Structure 1
Amino acid sequence: MTTPTIPAETANHVLAHFGRGGYQAGTFTQHLIAALCAADMDNKAKLATAYPDYAAAVIAMEYDPDGAAHLQRIAAGEAAA
C-alpha cells in the first residue's frame, strides 16, 4: 500500500483542527476530521478508502512525534507529503 499524498490544503485543515496553525475547513470537512479523530483504527481504515489524504494527516498528528512539524512544512510548501 502506498502512502497518500497530503496536499497543503489538507495539512492546513488538520493543523487548524488540532490548534497547530493552518486554517479552518468547511463544515463537512470539519466533521470528517472529527470523525477520523474519534474513529478506532478499523474505522479510520474504512474512512481512508474515501479520504486517504485526511486520514493520513490525522494519523500523522495522532501517532507521529514529528507529525505536526511535517504537516506545517507541507502547509508552508516546504515539503512534499
Structure 2
Amino acid sequence: MSTMTPVITEETARHVLWTFDAQGGYRPGTFTQKLLELLAYADPDNTVKLAASFPGEAEAVRLAKYDRDGIARLKKIAGAA
C-alpha cells in the first residue's frame, strides 16, 4: 500500500474548481466532467475504486469536499490564488 499523496496537476485543480463553482476554474471536457461529478457523488467504497485509476482527480475532489482549506489549496495549485 502506497502512502504517497497523489499529484494534483494545475489542470486538474482548475477542473475541480469549476466542478465546485469556485473562481479560478474552467470547464473540463465531457469525460473529465463526468468523472469529477462521479467522484463528487461516490460513496467511500466506490471512491477508493475510482482513485485506483484516477488518483489525482480523486485527491482533488477530496480536498474540495472535505478539507477546510481545500478550495484555497486547489486555487494555489491552479495558480489562481
Q: TM-score by structure 1 length?
A: 0.92
Moved over 2 A (4+): none
Distance in 2 of aligned mates of 1:4 and 1:77: 20
- Percent identity between matched residues is 49
Gapped regions of structure 2 (runs ≥ 5): none
Give the length in aligned residue pairs.
78
Which residue does 1:15 correspond to in 2?
A: 17
Per the alignment, in what secondary structure is the counterpart of residue 24 of structure 1? coil
Verify the 8 A CA contact 1:16 1:23 in the aligned structure 2.
yes
RMSD: 1.2
- Correspondence 1:1-81 to 2 at 5 A: 1-21=3-23, 22-76=25-79
TM-score computed with the length of structure 2 as normaliser: 0.92
Quick one: distance in 1 between partners of 2:57 and 2:40? 10
Unaligned segments of structure 1, at least 5 residues:
none
